[in-house]
């Protein structure tokens, strides 16, 4: 928890995320921090001026997890720098509905 209080902002994070918020994007932080760290995390975000809608705490550690929702979920992977988003085609896994379209 002590490191969370003094953590530095990633380069361009505040400007980029606040711009996305102002453009109408819904901003949620998905973190592996536990509920016990929610208050200190919210305080840090607010002190630095981040605009956001909420946080989801308790993300599994490691990368092999599934987010299950009945809506399309967009995930943006941080790779060392906040920049404008680009379109990229990727392959995803979905539940088999038995229809097997030829899209």
- List the chain domain ranges: 1-103
3-state secondary structure of 16: helix
* Residue-level pLDDT at 60: 84
Over the Cα atoms of the chain, what is R_g? 16
Into which CATH architecture does domain 1-103 fall? 3-Layer(aba) Sandwich (3.40)
Say what the pTM is. 0.74
Is 51's pLDDT higher than 90?
yes
Looking at the predicted structure, is the pLDDT value of residue 103 above 60?
no
Look at residue 42 and tell me whether its pLDDT is greater than 80: yes
Residue 95 CA from chain centroid, whole number: 23
Report the C-alpha gap between 101 and 48 in whole angstroms. 47
Q: How far apart are the first and last CA of the chain?
A: 48
């Amino acid at each position: 928890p002590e490191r969370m209080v003094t953590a530095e902002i990633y380069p361009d994070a505040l400007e980029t995320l606040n711009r996305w918020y102002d453009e109408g994007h819904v901003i949620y932080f998905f973190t592996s921090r536990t509920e016990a760290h929610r208050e200190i995390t919210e305080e840090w975000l607010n002190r630095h001026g981040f605009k956001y809608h909420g946080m989801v705490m308790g993300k599994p550690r490691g990368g092999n997890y599934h987010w299950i929702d009945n809506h399309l979920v967009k995930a943006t992977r941080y790779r060392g720098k906040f920049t404008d988003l680009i379109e990229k085609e990727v392959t995803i896994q979905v539940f088999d509905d038995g229809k097997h379209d030829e899209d």
